[in-house]
């Protein structure tokens, strides 16, 4: 069976200065995928992994719920950031260092405490967003560790002053095995005036939902795009059939 290794992934649709697809540029642009032969020699494979900018894993989370990925382990060992599917073994490997990083951000002296109003047992609203804030960091807690297969689906809905939805960001996650707390960070968009936080069981209504116990707005950073990294070693995306932002 013939196999290839993706070397480079780039946009297949170059954009002009307005963000529209540039048809002329697309016609002369290089292929969207560049591949290297398979198999590679051991030395070539190590070099291939080491020079990667990011590892993007299009794995089926149902098949990799408890299945090991050697490629993920290799990329993490050499410090390559990764994007992995939620509710999978891969997400578990990313969760622990990310949780440690987010817990540290929550304790930062520069973080601004966020007040919220409960809108029932599955929703809270943050009606005052500081102008200096770039991100919202929320901590959930449970009375005891969750069972295997229990996951939380959290949706951050950002609105402007007229109540129009600016962005809806879904997250599927759970605490690290044995833990009773979980953190989630969402970047704020410009003109956001309020944020509704809604949550439910990701795969079953019987999942224990937890509660919001702490929340902080993080001030805008002076470097980069002003936002704080959402993780320490990588990010967790959603599975098949879910929209991501």
Domain check: are 33 and 111 in the same one? no
What is the per-residue pLDDT across 154-209, written as a single tens digit (0 to 9) for each? 999 999 999 999 999 999 999 999 999 999 999 999 999 999 999 999 988 888 98
To the nearest 10°, report the CA torsion of 55, 134, 185, 103. Answer: 100
Distance CA 153, CA 234 (A): 19
Q: 56 with 83: CB under 8 angstroms?
A: yes
Tokens, residue 188: 């704020």
Are residues 143 and 61 located together in one domain of the fold?
no
CA atoms within 13 A on the CB side of 218: 25
Number of domains making up the chain: 2
Which DSSP symbol is given to 15?
A: B
Handedness of CA 40, 43, 46, 47 (dihedral sign): negative
Please give the model's pTM, rounded to 2 decimal places: 0.81
Q: Which residues of the chain have pLDDT under 50?
A: 1-4, 9, 11-13, 21, 240-245
Shared-domain flag, residues 74 and 129? no
Q: Are residues 112 and 186 in the same domain?
A: yes
- Cβ 208 vs Cβ 146: under 8 Å: yes
């Amino acid at each position: 069976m013939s196999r290839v290794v993706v070397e480079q992934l780039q946009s297949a649709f170059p954009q002009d200065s307005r963000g529209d697809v540039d048809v002329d540029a697309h016609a002369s642009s290089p292929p969207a995928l560049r591949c290297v032969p398979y198999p590679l020699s051991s030395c070539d494979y190590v070099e291939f992994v080491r020079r990667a900018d990011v590892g993007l894993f299009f794995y089926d989370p149902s098949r990799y719920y408890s299945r090991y990925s050697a490629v993920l382990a290799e990329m993490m060992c050499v410090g390559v950031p990764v994007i992995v599917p939620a509710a999978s073994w891969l997400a578990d490997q990313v969760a622990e260092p990310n949780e440690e990083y987010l817990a540290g951000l929550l304790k930062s002296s520069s973080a601004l405490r966020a007040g919220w109003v409960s809108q029932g047992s599955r929703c809270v609203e943050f009606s005052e967003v500081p102008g200096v804030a770039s991100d919202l960091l929320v901590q959930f807690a449970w009375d005891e560790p969750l069972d295997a297969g229990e996951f939380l689906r959290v949706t951050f809905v950002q609105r402007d002053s007229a109540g129009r939805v600016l962005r809806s960001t879904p997250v599927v996650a759970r605490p690290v095995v044995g833990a009773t707390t979980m953190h989630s960070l969402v970047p704020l968009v410009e003109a956001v005036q309020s944020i509704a936080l809604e949550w439910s069981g990701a795969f079953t209504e019987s999942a224990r939902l937890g509660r919001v116990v702490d929340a902080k707005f993080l001030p805008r950073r002076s470097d980069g795009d002003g936002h704080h990294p959402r993780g320490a070693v990588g990010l967790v995306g959603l599975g098949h059939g879910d929209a991501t932002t």
